[in-house]
Amino acid sequence: MEHTIELGYAVVEVADVDAVAGFFTDVVGLAPGEPTPAGHRTWTDDDVAQRVVVTRGLANDLAVLGFEAVDDAGFDTVVDRLGAAGHDVRAGTETEAAERRVTRLAVVDAPWGTPVEVATGLTRGSRPDTPLMPGGFLTRGEGFGHAVVGTTAFDESVRFATDGLGMVRSDYLEMEIAAGIELEVHFFHCNARHHTLALARVPFDMPTKLHHLMFEANERDDVGAAFDRAFAAGLPLPNGLGLHDNDRMFSFYVESPAGFQVEVGHGARQITEPWSDDRRYDRISAWGHQPVVHAPGP
């Protein structure tokens, strides 16, 4: 598989922008960036000007997922492939491209119910200080992290990811999480990151489509420090520190003030070509990832 795209940015719509702002800066340890031309606040985990854009609204959910094409030829390849797969792709306007700080932009509706954007020429500057994450984040050649989306339109979404975006399945998870309730998650790569997108089959529309965004720290100890910040903030911790079985990522999950979760991790294994390890897993984690219960206050 050619490395044509990587995860470029996510736009999330949240009701309480200030609470989410504090969460991204002071808990996750992302670097605040300049506001967009339309005045929306931004964060980044590397030298790209804006990796996360926060807009104000009631959804408390993913609003847009943006994929960066590595060059103009890659951009054309992905746009053509989306069109050939039957998706209605439109060119972004100049105003929209300026808002994303990109040179070329295409927009398409993903079956899971949000727009997906394909872009080139993401504005880059110097890598910002991330004093809470002194080792920085792993993004080079792999994008800013990964996104996991739950959808009732699972089969269509899988085809969109593979036939449209050109991603390849890394592996999949099937397990019974309660009597008669199956969890099914498929993991997709488009570069060396084990998965850039994962899709979960859900039986009915959930409060949020976005299950989580993941940011990968270069240093294991930075994950532990982030866990301590999340714990001290009293935020819900659906999954404490643990190790995923499939991508071997050491991580934890914290619920943001908007409801969707953020995974902070380290050390995931990488995709090697040709990829020959697409197989079924029947457990999420090799160890850990237990829910953390905060002790009642005094």
| Closest CB to Fe ion among residues 121, 238 | 238
Looking at residue 19, its amino acid is A
How buried is residue 226: exposed, middle or buried, by Cβ count under 10 Å (0-12/13-18/19+)? buried
Pick out residues in 114-173 that bind Fe ion (CB under 5 A): none
Unique residue bearing structure tokens 């997922």? 65
Question: Using CA atoms, how far apart are residues 231 and 255, in angstroms rounded to an integer?
Answer: 11
Determine the size of the site formed for Fe ion (CB under 5 A).
2
Q: Which stretch binds Fe ion (CB under 5 A): 54-62, 103-111, 219-227, 257-265?
A: 257-265
Kindly state whether residue 99 participates in binding Fe ion, applying the rule CB under 5 A.
no
Q: What one-character-per-residue DSSP string does 201-247 give?
A: E-SS--S-SEEEEEEEBSSHHHHHHHHHHHHHTT--BSEEEEEETTT
Kindly state whether residue 216 participates in binding Fe ion, applying the rule CB under 5 A.
no
Kindly state whether residue 214 participates in binding Fe ion, applying the rule CB under 5 A.
yes
Q: Which of 263, 264, 268, 271 is the binder for Fe ion (CB under 5 A)?
A: 263
Minimum Å gap between C-beta 289 and Fe ion is 10
CB atoms within 10 A of CB 18: 10
Burial call 105-114: b when 16+ CB within 10 Å, e when fewer: bbbbebbbeb
| Closest CB to Fe ion among residues 120, 261 | 261
Minimum Å gap between C-beta 290 and Fe ion is 16
Kindly state whether residue 7 participates in binding Fe ion, applying the rule CB under 5 A.
no
Q: Which stretch binds Fe ion (CB under 5 A): 37-45, 92-100, 108-116, 208-216?
A: 208-216
Minimum Å gap between C-beta 200 and Fe ion is 11
Residues found near Fe ion in the complex (CB under 5 A): 214, 263
